[in-house]
Structure 1
Amino acid sequence: MGGIGKTTLAQVVYNDKKVTDHFYLKGWFCVSEAYDAFRITKGLLQEIDSFDLKDDNNLNRLQVKLKEKLNGKRFLIVLDDVWNDNYREWNDLRNIFVQGDIGSKIIVTTRKESVALMMRTEQISMDTLSIDDSWSLFKRHAFENMDPMEHPELEEVGKQIVAKCKGLPLALKTLAGMLRSESEVEGWRRILRSEIWDPSNNDILSALMLSYNELPPHLKPCFSYCAIFPKDYPFRKEQVIHLWIANGLVVPWGDERIQELGNQFFLELRSRSLFERVPNPSQGKTEEFLMHDLVNDLAQVASSKLCVRLEECQGSHMLEQSRHMSYSMGRDGDFEKLKLLSKSEQLRTLLPIKIQRLFLRPKLSKRVLHNILPRLTSLRALSLSHYWIKELPNDLFIKLKLLRFLDLS
């Protein structure tokens, strides 16, 4: 079941100082529904170490490299959100880990009982929250700095909403975050009476869709825009605000400064539990945030395929209709990957995602800089962050007349 707290529990364990001190190596990878041994192996290698360019596209060499890195070392690997219950494929993947030191551990989170059974190891089955714990969690988020007993009507309706969430922490947090800014009891009753609470629907999806439907009009496009980020990807608040502003999603009212208004929008979405703060950010003390994978799914539905990941585009029609796109940075200049953008003339955002740990900045192909990017004349936001670029062509500034944000950090 989604939204019950599996990933949250795994994160608490993974980030615990005693756990960190106990293991020589740690790696976390979000597997998700599309099982891909190459992607998993490469992702884990990038989590624990760097590797040479020649290994970049060969599964066998990557697996050998990962085995070498884990050999004789005590490690902790987390495979989050596993759906694939094909034993042969799991056994092939498991063979990579057999040479670790005694005491090495693999944690797998899954919504499917068949996956847990396939692992044939110790299982922790998470249950939903009791009604008392559900109310306690809901109350903490919905009545922050307030005593529910001073608002008996809100408390009465709130307890009925809690019952409909059926003990799912994500549903409780999301709806509580939405209602914390609603002081009128009629607003709470509207949520309680909503037709989305269909018994045939998934309770967590009902709660998430309710939270999206109740977003103010100015927040809906800002939230759906975040579908551009892959699952489990930590993003920075300042980066998101710049991208919103460049695409005209933050419009000042009166004398308000646009940056401050964007910050306000971000904090509103965070207060509704749609964004979660990353406990241990990777970039020093810079705060990072992410979306729960189900919240990410909701953003993708809300974006109507306008915000996409290049690697997940299926067919030219998706490339043609997309407006905002991200892609995983490689080490080979990214020309082969980005030449597909010839079909994306209406693209407004292009965002490279640095999934791997890179000790040296990769170079961006000159063919990308000179032949591909200048053709994307609808671009409002372009990030070339983390690339090593000596010089930008003049055509980039002559032809991208609508460009409002260029990130060269």
Structure 2
Amino acid sequence: MDYASFSRDALDCFCKPLWQDIDYLVHYRRNIKELRDQAQKLNAVVLDVNILVDQAASRGERIRNQVEDWVRRAKDKALEAQNLNNEIQANQNHRCFSTCCTPNWRSRYNLSKQAVSIAKEMGVIYGEKNFEGVSLPVLVSPPISKPTAPAPVGHFMLFESRTHARDDVLKALKHDKNNIVGIHGMGGVGKTTMVKQVAEKVISEGLFDRVVLATVSQTVNLRKIQDSIADGLELKWEKESEEGRANQLRAKIMADKTILVILDDIWESIDLSQVGIPFGCDLEACKSKILFTTRREHVCHTMGCKENSSIHLKILSPEDSWNLFVKTANRVLDSSEYEDVARQVVGKCQGLPLALETVAKALGDKDVEEWKKAVRRLQMSVPANPDHLYNKVAECIKLSYDFLKDPKVKAFFLICCLFPEDHNISKIVLARYAMGLGLFRNAETLDQARGDVDTFIKNLIDSGLLLKSNKDGRVKMHDVVRDTAIIITSSGDEQLFYGDSKWLFMAKAGSGLQQWPRDRDNCFERYTCSLCYVQ
């Protein structure tokens, strides 16, 4: 062992802190002078930056968050240096003992040590002034008239069962930490109407200076989305390429006052940067926010929503459903017979606004016998008038079905329509049906199939095609969704091919089948018959 080297290292470890402490005393005056020099230099730069900030603000420009943060930290540190300097002045003539002229060495040590630390921190802050300009550029655009929200649609009524959801959305938008808020719910539940009413509310309360809305839809068209947002911002394109338009749109949103960008009907997570919408730190910096709607709950997560900014829009309560139906039908139910039939129709629509409005509009001018026929047809899952009564609802739900990529998930969804209305469907029974129909050909046991069942169910719930049940191990299918599924499976217009089999579900709900149905035009390898109430 090199004892000389060891002794030298040990001595260095012991002496370095000691020399530092001695330095605080020996170079007291130098350290105090360095503190004052750094403070003077930093204050001079802060003064220059403040002048630039005032000039930019007078032009209506938005000050960069980076600049505001730097000025705040610089002022705080300069004030800390000033307070220490005042303490140094107060202790300049202080002595350890009142009868002695000896300086107060302990006080000098503490003050010198603080001066070194604060001077070093001010030097770091001074070196961080590397931002380019103090403000964001302003794009020239036509004068802005009084802010307006997108026009509402349909017969919107602020139902009690909708007030809570609207308030949840407003609360999420008001939260400082939420830059993006999502509303998810099944097709036809009223998401578009909800966001337009939220838009009116935030404008009336002054939460945002502008509100713009763009519809995304299943097939994303970037130029169409960009045009919709640009129209709302009264922005004229200077570039024609999608990238150039995105850059111009981003600069406009960053430079403008607070904006609420509403993206309606998102099917999958989209790249906001390709559209030209700021996100992350940029979105937070410009104080604007994004509100979007989707049928798929998982899209809220992939788009960056937090737990308190992902809002589930549920179906209407029975009372609100009735009020919407009566208002949309636009007729007086002048007899108990009319009212009884109407309540049966409302019950079949199960709180789905789109279904309620569609049925009410179709039946509004019909006599009571037509209403009774409609009830019987709805009970049998056959539309009374396919062109007007059911197409709008079925199209909305079938779109969600068509968007399912896995044919096995599609087949699994169709199996669910074999159960009775409002039935709490057992996951175990679903697994048995699916195995019997050959969906899980690689699964040898029921337990092996249940893992796939859980995955399928989650996919369908996220797509708004199944509902969670209040009973463990079970799920539910909304009645209107079930009716649409039955139309898909039993119409013959769309026959499902899976593997080497051709499927057709001969589902005739409530018709009381007396014999096995026959299809003379086609030969199918397998039929599925649901015997819900065998006596």
Question: TM-score scaled by structure 1?
Answer: 0.44
Question: TM-score scaled by structure 2?
Answer: 0.34
Q: Between Structure 1 and Structure 2, which shows a larger proportion of helix residues?
A: 2
